[in-house]
Amino acid sequence: MAGIFKAYDIRGIYGKDLTEDTAFKIGRAVAKFLKPKTFVIGHDMRPHSIPLFNAMAEGLTLQGVDVINIGLASTPMSYHANGKLGADGSVIITASHNPGEWNGMKICREKAIPISGATGIADIERIVNEQSFDAPAARLGKVTTYDIRPEYFAHIRTFAAMKKPLKVVIDYANGMGISEGGVFTDEMFDITPMYDVLDGTFPNHEANPLDLHTLHDISAKLKAGKYDFGIAFDGDADRAGFLDENGDVVTMDMITALVAQSMLEKFPGSAIFYDLRSSWAVKEVIEEAGGKPMMSRVGHAFIKAQMREADAVFAGELSGHYYFRDNYYTESSALAAICVANVISKTGKTLSQLIKPIKRYFAAGEINSTVADVQTVFKKLDAKYGDAHKFQLDGNSYEYADWWFNVRSSNTEPLVRLNLEAKTKAQMEQKRDEVLALIRG
C-alpha cells in the first residue's frame, strides 16, 4: 500500500500496491470518514476495475452504506451522478492516463466536492493503516444499479448551438472517452473515430493528450482529410486535447479562452477562472467578452473550491481539465468540445483563424528542474527580481510590463516548475535562459 495515497487521488499498480483487500479496507475507511448513507461508484474499462469495485462496495455495504452502481462511466459522468442523485459521496475507479497495469480511485463527498490529501485522503489512509474501522453495521447496505448516461447526455446536449454538423476526428484512446462521447449526436458532429474500442491495456498509445507523442496519429488523420478540428480524450475522459483543422495542437489555455467566449454568450458577465500558468491573453479575452477573469492556483481541488466561492460559470486548466458550474463545478470534456464547436459554428471561422488573434505572446512551456534546495532557489529569484510585481497564489509569480514567470515546487519530488511568457520570442528565450540559469545554479 506504500505510496498509493496521493495529493488528489489514490493510485498504484494493481495486484502490487492496490489490491482487492486494500479496496475493501478503503471502502470501510470511507464509510467511517464520510458517514454516507448513499454512495455512487463507477469504474473505467480496465479489467481489474470490476474486482476493485466489488471489493470497495463490499467494504461500504458492510458498514451499512447503500451503494449506487453506475457501472462503466467516464469521470465527468460519475461527478454528475453524485450531484444529480443527491448522494453523500462518490468514487470513480480509474487510473486516468496511467498505463494499463495501474488503477486508482477519485473520491468525492456530497455535491461532487473532491477529497484531496488535505481534506480527507490522509485521514482515509490513517484509518486503513490503523484498521480503526467502525464495527460492521447491524443492517448491511444494498447495491442498486443506475444508468446515469441518459440524464448526463441530455443535460450536456442543451448547450449545443451548432448551425450544422461539424466534421471532427476523435481519438478515444481505447478509454472512457467512448462513453463521454455518447453525448455527441449526428446533428452536432460527423465523427471519424480512432481507437474506439474499450481496451484497458491501451494497445495504440497512452491515453494522455498532454504527451504530444500520443497526438501523432490524430494529427496525421487531420492533415490527410478535410475536418473542422480534432479531439483527443485521456483515459477517464476528464481531460481533452484539441487540434485545429491543419492537425496542429492547440494549447489548453487557448481552448480555455474559446470556451470562455462560448460560456459568456450564454451567461453574460460571469466569473471565469484560468490557471496561473495560462497566457496573459486568456485574461484579456475573458475581459473582452464581458466576463470577470479570476486567476486560480493549479490543482482540481483548489479550482473547484474557488469556483464555488465565486459562483464561476467555467474554469480552464493548462492540463486540459475544463470545469463547469453546470456539471457541479467539475469537468466535462464533452461540454468543452461542444463549446469549441459553438464558437466555430457561430463565427464561421476555422479553429486556426479563431486562435490566431489570441496567440498574442510567446510562452516557454512548463520546464522542470531538479534542485537540491527549493527554498534557496526562491531566495535567489527574490533577490534578482525584487522590483517585479510579486504574488504567491501558487509558488512565486513575478510580473513585469512585458514578461512574467511563475515558479512552483512539486508536492512529491525535489523539482521546481517554471512557466514564463513574454511579448516577443527573443525576449521569452532570453528571460527563460536567465531564470533557468538561476534555478539550476
Active site residues: 96
Inter-CA distances, 256 with 5, 27, 230, Å: 30, 36, 16
Q: Where are the beta strands (DSSP E) in 211-309?
A: 229-233, 240-243, 249-250, 271-275, 292-296
Using DSSP bridges, classify how beta strands 229-233 and 249-250 pair: parallel, antiparallel or unpaired: unpaired
For residue 357, the Cα-to-chain-centroid distance in whole angstroms is 26
Contact yes or no for 41/69 (Cβ under 8 A): yes
Instruction: Give the contacts of 344 (CB within 8 A, at least 6 positions apart).
Output: 166, 228, 229, 350, 351, 354
Cell numbers for 28, please give them: 470501510
Give Dmax (Cα) for the chain.
70
Determine the Cα–Cα distance for residues 268 and 202; give it in Å rounded to an integer.
Answer: 41
Cα–Cα dist 414/288, whole Å: 40
C-alpha cell at 376: 534557496
Beta-bridge partner residues of 315: 273, 323
Q: Which amino acid is at 402?
A: D
Q: If you write DSSP's letter for every residue of 333-387 in order, what string do you get?
A: HHHHHHHHHHHHHHH---HHHHHGGG--SEE---EEEE-S-HHHHHHHHHHHTTT
Query: Residues 218, 171: contact at Cβ < 8 Å?
Result: yes
Sign of CA dihedral 4, 5, 6, 10: positive
What angle (nearest 5°) sits at the alpha carbon of residue 58, between those of residues 56 and 82?
Answer: 55
344 residue type, one letter: I
Beta-strand relationship, 89-93 and 38-43: parallel
